[in-house]
Amino acid sequence: MKKFMLLLLFCHVASPVLHSMKYFYTASSQVPNFPEFVEVGLVDDVQTVHYDSNTQRLVPKQDWMEKVTADDAGYWDSETQRCQNDQQVFKANIDIVKKRFNQTGGVHIVQRMYGCEWDDLTGVTNGYEQHGYDGEDFLVFDLKTKTWIAPTPQAVITKHKWDRNTGQNEYLYNYYTQECIDWLKKYVGYGRSTLLRKELPSVSLLQKTPSSPVTCHASGFYPNKIMLFWRRDGEELLEDVDHGEILHNHDGTFQKSVDLDVSSVKPGDWGRYSCVFQLAGDEKDIVTKLDPKVIKTNWGKTEIKRDGDSPSGFPTGGVVGAVVGLLVLVAICIAGVIFWKKRNNGFEKANTSDGSASSDAGSAS
């Protein structure tokens, strides 16, 4: 069973026509300087809504999300009320799960992640709901059998309880196969100009020391359905390369790096290597040859300077963007990575409306 973090890491390899809507709930106890409860919604990996126990209000994170009031004038009020109810449910759920694991104090996190996907080319759809506790799987909804999977013995009590609630499970099935897809299509329509845009990155070659790997760094691209890889003599390299994660920039674009170990590459062979950036749906690749003259270093051999570059030649703009983006992800990862397991911790299920799959299973105790 894949962890939520893995879902986040691999979501970027999806088809270029694969749209997604994801919701993450995170309830925590004794986490310093972090809200006790957070809800975050994303469409095509773009954050659309946010709620936390400090503000007590669900708010749009994209201008185009305001369009939802054209169909439902009271949308933000009703959704805020739902979030406030969820907050109480998940607060109680932490106490229930702690007892299951014979725990008392300390830092603990309950998570729920759910959502759906829609391929606008083939029409194929998929849905999922998962719950976790302290970074481990707790419960997963099996869409095919309409039953719950308990990866840990402490979740078996809740699994049996929820399995008996066939009406609720039937509702979840219908939600993930129909209602969730309808909302996803609506949101994609609202944000079409943003979600379907394409932006190409700037690509730089970086190296810390003469013996360090050469990093191919692409920043400023959108969407995150991309491939970035090294090739030799026109063939993709699978060895001596290290792929980094796709990270958020502060402006909503993305960045990614891939390292090439050049320790065994002869100086005369450098010209055989190149870094290739491919954006889904764009026929033209961005190819950057491995040339010592264009590598930015911090050891005095900077050949290329750009606005925003540091004195060492390393671009600071992308790094700053990554830091800002990561701060957002701490709310989407502490409220998102954390989320993976947060999906329905076998206690009482939180409600679901537009993007939220309703869960009225009752207490897990």
Q: Report the pLDDT value the prediction gives residue 315, as an integer from 0 to 100.
A: 44
Same domain, 66 and 165: yes
pLDDT digits (tens, 9 = 90+) for 6-58: 333 333 333 346 899 999 999 999 888 999 999 999 999 899 999 999 999 99
Q: Which domain holds residue 68?
A: 4-194+330-343
Residues 164 and 254 in one domain: no
Q: Is residue 315 part of a domain?
A: yes
Residues 221 and 172 grouped into a single domain? no
190 and 79 in one domain? yes
The answer to whether residue 70 sits within a structural domain is: yes
Residues 97, 133, single domain; the answer is yes
Does 83 share its domain with 32?
A: yes
- The CATH number that applies at residue 132 is 3.30.500.10
* pLDDT band, very low/low/confident/very high, at 146 (cuts 50, 70, 90): very high
Same domain for 170 and 39: yes
Q: Are residues 8 and 140 in the same domain?
A: yes
Condensed to tens digits (0 to 9), the pLDDT of residues 55-84 reads 999 999 999 999 999 989 999 999 999 999
Contact partners, residue 309, CB within 8 Å, separation at least 6: 296, 302, 315, 316
Residue 167 has pLDDT above 70, yes or no: yes
Task: Tell whether 56 and 96 lie within a shared domain.
Answer: yes
97-111 average pLDDT score: 92
Q: Are residues 233 and 266 in the same domain?
A: yes
Is 349 inside a domain boundary?
Answer: no
Mean pLDDT of the chain: 82
Domain assignment of residue 51, yes or no = yes
For 223-239, write each residue's pLDDT tens digit: 888 999 999 999 999 99
Q: Is residue 118 over pLDDT 80?
A: yes
Judged against a pLDDT cut of 80, whether residue 294 lies above it is answered with yes
Calpha distance 120→2 (Å, rounded): 25
**116, pLDDT greater than 60:** yes
Whether 348 is covered by a domain: the verdict is no
Q: How far apart are CA 286 and CA 277, in angstroms?
A: 5
Residue 349: pLDDT band (50, 70, 90) is low
- With respect to residue 19, please indicate whether it lies within any of the assigned structural domains: yes
Are 187 and 277 in the same domain?
no
**Domain match, 180 and 42 both:** yes
Amino acid 335: pLDDT: 40
357 within a domain of the structure (yes/no): no
At 233-292, the pLDDT tens digits run: 999 999 999 999 999 898 889 999 999 999 999 989 999 999 999 998 788 999 999 999
Number of domains in the chain: 2
* pLDDT given at position 313: 42
Q: Taking 50 as the threshold, does the pLDDT of residue 336 lie above it?
A: no
Q: What is the pTM of this model?
A: 0.72
CATH number for 245 = 2.60.40.10
- Name, in order, each residue with C-beta under 8 angstroms of 54's C-beta and a sequence gap of 6 or more: 35
